[in-house]
Amino acid sequence: MNKSLPASGQIACARCFSSCGASIQFDQTKRTVGDWRITANPMAWGNVTPEIMVLGFSKGPTQAGALVSTPHNEIAYKGGRHNVGKILAHVGLIAGDDPANLSLAVSQAISDTQGRFHFGSLIRCTVERYESGSSVWKGSGGGMLDKFVATPFGREVAGNCADQFLAALPSVTKLVVMFGFGTALNYVRESFKLYERVRKGSWKWLNDVSYTDGKIIVVHVEHFASQGPLINQWRGVDGHSRGRYGRMAQESVALATGKPQFRGTTPTAIPATANKMKEVKPMTAKTAAPTANAVTETLLKAFRDANYMETKNIVYVAGFKSKAGQVVYIVKQTSKLNRINVMVHPDFSPEMLRGLDGVDSVSDGHVFHSNLTGYPKRFNGGETPTAHGWQLTFNTLQNLNKFLKAFSVQTL
């Protein structure tokens, strides 16, 4: 079997079932090792040469034979497409301006074999775990993702799938979106090891939920079947700390798709009232907007012209030190000329910051960002402490210039 992305439909793959003999029946044949089992029902949807891959962990458990009688394009994320839409819209991959149409947008993308997406799962077959207390097989539950891939059987199955379907991706494929974090990001770390094993190259972390080998970027997002408020918390509703993972995903998706100016749902650190999306009109020679690089250079020039000394300049942020010795960071990935985001040391009083000339808004709480060198760190739900500060927003370049002048003499 060629190592490539499979066409939409059932997949003729039996790599994990060699011990089951020659007669393998789709959605019927199972392989059990200890408390885990897989069912031979690998499937795929969407384009075989996509720009973006979207992967769940595995298909949820179904009654034996049910997949055979269900229309193919109704299977993927069945019952969860609205949540899939909310998540993809939050990172800017589908339009999110009309919540009522999110499920329809996902359904259209799944059935489009010539579109920008390929849909599937890291493990193409159904994975289940035996629960001795209830004497039933379950395909979901706490720690399901990371616990399976941490077992020898899970590593074998995941390794086969990754080698078959992820080792040799089309050159046009730049982004892989993976649903789920696992317990304390364990699934993210196990997945990193898996990609590192099957795709040779120099892998590095971009942030807590994203990594790259220089050819593709893998981004973990909230699982579409997450219970309770977790999806909205990841989206930053009410400024929840889990929103930092959503912001990290936004940054990495923008980097992968070459669109650093965010076009998804409202970023969590920006007040919703200040971030209403305007209709994007086709650009002509007379109305063409400045490129992302030109916008970034304009913003960086404002700091230099105000006699701030550059201390750091990476993909996500650039740091500048004022003449009074205070370092501020411009968040390059989410800033544009009518919404400029700047991080300031958390020890400054938010009341004082709101009173400075030019400041349009200050975040309601501290915003966490792993690239704020020199800023204090504290735990925010993860395993390691993260740097944090106040995020200031400026609606015009003129207001940023006013702030830079007023802030230049401020000290702690």
What digits encode the pLDDT tens for the residues 332-347? 888 999 899 999 999 9
Give the pLDDT of residue 73.
Answer: 92
CA separation for the pair 57, 70 (Å, rounded)? 20
Check whether 289 has a pLDDT greater than 60. no
Cβ-based neighbours of 120, under 8 Å, separated by 6 or more: 6, 43, 44, 45, 53, 54, 55, 56, 76, 165
Q: What is the mean pLDDT of residues 24-39?
A: 90
pLDDT range class, residue 350, cuts 50, 70, 90: very high
pLDDT range class, residue 22, cuts 50, 70, 90: low
Check whether 107 has a pLDDT greater than 90. yes
Give the pLDDT of residue 239.
Answer: 81
Quick one: CA dihedral 271, 274, 276, 277, positive or negative?
negative
Helix H or strand E encompassing 254: helix 243-257
Check whether 260 has a pLDDT greater than 70. no
The token duo for 41 is 């029902």
Mean pLDDT taken over the chain: 85
Dump pLDDT digits (tens) for 115-135: 999 999 999 999 998 888 888
What is the DSSP code (8-state) at residue 339?
A: B
Q: Are 203 and 213 in contact (CB under 8 A)?
A: yes
Helices and strands (DSSP H and E) totals, the chain: 11, 20
The token duo for 86 is 């909310």
Question: Beta strand pairing status for 52-56 and 175-179?
Answer: parallel
